[in-house]
Structure 1
Amino acid sequence: MTPFLGPDVRNLGAAYIDPSARIFGDVEIAADASVWCNVVVRAESDRVVIGPRANIQDFVMIHVGSGTGTFVGADCSITHHVTLHGCTIGDACLIGIGATIMDGCQIGEGSIVAGGAFLKEGTIIPPHSIVMGAPGAVTKTRDNTIANRLNAFLYLKNAQGYAVGDYRVWSKVEFRTEMAAERARLMAGAS
Structure 2
Amino acid sequence: MNPVYAFGDVVPVVHPTAFVHPTATLIGDIIIGPRCYVGPQASLRGDLGRFVMKEGANLQDGCIVHTFPGQLTELGVNGHVGHGAVLHGCHVGDGALIGIGSVLLDGSVIGEQAFVGARSLVTSNTEIPARHLAYGTPANVVRELTRAELIWKADGTATYHWLTHVSPEQLTETEPLTQEEANRPTLLRPPATSKTLHETRATAQS
TM-score normalized by structure 1?
0.85
**Equivalenced residues, count:** 176
2-structure distance, mates of 1:125, 1:14: 31
Question: Which residue matches 1:40?
Answer: 43
- Letter paired with 2:167: Y
Q: Secondary structure at the match of 2:101?
A: coil
Query: 1:123-155 CA deviation, whole Å, 9 max, x = no partner?
Result: 111111101100111001125543322211111
Do 2:18 and 2:33's aligned partners in 1 also have CA atoms closer than 8 Å?
no
Residues 117 and 16 of structure 1: CA distance in aligned 2, closer, same or farther (over 3 Å): same
* CA offset digits 1:99-144 (Å, max 9, x no partner): 0000000000001100010011111111111011001110011255
- Does the alignment pair 1:119 with 2:122? yes
Code of the aligned partner of 2:58: N
Counterpart AA for 2:32:
I
Task: Write the deviation string for residues 69-108 of structure 1: whole angstroms up to 9, x where unpaired.
Answer: 1000011110100000000000001100000000000000
Partners of 2:124 and 2:186 in 1: CA distance: 38
Percent identity of equivalent pairs: 26
- Mapping 1:25-174, distance limit 5 Å: 25-142=28-145, 144-165=149-170, 171-172=188-189
Distance 1:39 1:109, change over 3 A: same
Alignment deviations for residues 141-180 of structure 1 (CA, whole Å, 9 cap, x no partner): 12554332221111110121111116999743x7238x8x
CA RMSD of aligned residues (A): 2.1
Residue type matched to 2:79 in 1? Answer: C
Separation in structure 2 between the aligned mates of residue 49 and residue 35 of structure 1, nearest angstrom: 12
2:179 equivalent to 1:176:
no
Structure 1 unpaired stretches of 5+: 180-191
**Does structure 2 conserve the Cα–Cα contact (< 8 Å) formed by 1:65 and 1:86?**
yes
CA contact (8 A) 2:4 2:25 kept: yes
Which protein shows a greater Rg?
Answer: 2
Q: 1:14 to 1:87 in 2, by over 3 A?
A: farther
AA partner of residue 70 (structure 1): T
Q: Give 1:175's aligned amino acid.
A: P
| Distance in 2 (alpha carbons) for counterparts of 1:67 and 1:125 | 23
SS at 1:47's partner residue?
strand
Aligned residue type for 2:2: P
Mapped to 2, the partners of 1:176 and 1:58 lie a distance apart of 22
Say whether the 8 Å CA contact 1:62–1:84 is kept in structure 2.
yes
Inter-partner Cα distance in structure 1 for 2:112 and 2:120:
17
Stretch of structure 1 that moved more, 147-156 or 116-125: 147-156
